[in-house]
């Protein structure tokens, strides 16, 4: 067991930072990403003896990440809640991360329309920079099918963001119209 454990850590060491970063990107924040990463390491270490080919360790490890991510998404919503502590509340008042939150909200809206597998695929290719040939080997599909899945996932994301932005523009236009009418009414009543 010690020999296989040492081999596991020797193989995992070069991938450590990349896998942890991937987990953080999938989960959307550092803490949840680190939790996912630790779960993946425990799972991978316990199942390491089932790995058939040591040369496919990287793809095997990323497959475990994707599976654990999918399972964490399926978890009931109340288990994912983070309690608001005094520290979080105090630190939130000092800095205005408005742009970061807006970008995160857009990304979350776009990702909501995707399945967990497509989310993992988009994250690997777009955020992690994996070549399509490696992603195809990871999910054991052809390069063509990966390109088609990426195209469809991007199209779904674009459609969701476009629909949301048109909804926002319509509500802003109605607000603007209402405020302009109220200004006109005030102006007319003042003139009389």
Question: How much is the mean pLDDT over the chain?
Answer: 78
The CATH number linked to 24 is 1.10.1740.10
Instruction: State the total domains in the chain.
Output: 2
Same domain flag for 28 and 64? yes
Identify the burial level of 32 via C-beta atoms within 10 angstroms of its C-beta, where 0-12 means exposed, 13-18 middle and 19 or more buried. Answer: middle
- Identify the residue with better confidence: 177 or 49: 49
Structural domain range at position 65: 1-82
* Digit-coded pLDDT (tens) for 153-191: 999 988 888 887 777 666 655 555 544 444 433 333 444
Tell me whether residue 89 is in a domain: no
pTM of the model: 0.54
Q: Which of 57, 82, 107 is the last residue of a domain?
A: 82
Picking from 16-20, 23-27, 75-79, 108-112, which range would have the lowest pLDDT averaged per residue? 75-79
* Digit-coded pLDDT (tens) for 67-90: 988 887 775 554 555 555 565 555
Same domain flag for 73 and 103? no
Average pLDDT estimate for 20-38: 90
Same domain flag for 26 and 70? yes
Same domain flag for 71 and 131? no
Proportion of the chain in helix, strand, coil states, percent, rounded to 5: 85, 0, 15
């Amino acid at each position: 067991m010690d020999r296989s454990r040492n081999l596991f850590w020797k193989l995992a060491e070069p991938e450590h930072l990349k896998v942890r970063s991937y987990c953080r990107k999938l989960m959307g924040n550092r803490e949840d990403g680190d939790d996912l990463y630790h779960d993946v390491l425990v799972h991978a270490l316990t199942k390491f003896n089932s790995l058939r080919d040591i040369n496919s360790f990287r793809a095997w490890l990323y497959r475990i990440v994707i599976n654990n991510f999918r399972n964490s998404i399926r978890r009931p919503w109340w288990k994912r809640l983070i309690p608001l502590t005094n520290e979080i509340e105090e630190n939130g008042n000092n800095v205005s991360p408005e742009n970061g939150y807006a970008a995160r909200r857009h990304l979350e809206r776009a990702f909501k329309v995707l399945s967990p597998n497509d989310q993992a695929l988009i994250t690997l290719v777009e955020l992690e920079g994996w070549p399509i040939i490696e992603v195809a080997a990871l999910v054991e599909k052809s390069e063509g099918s990966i390109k088609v899945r990426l195209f469809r996932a991007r199209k779904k994301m674009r459609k969701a963001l476009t629909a949301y932005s048109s909804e926002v523009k319509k509500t802003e236009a109605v607000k603007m119209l209402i405020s302009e009418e109220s200004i006109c009414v005030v102006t007319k009543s003042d003139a009389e």
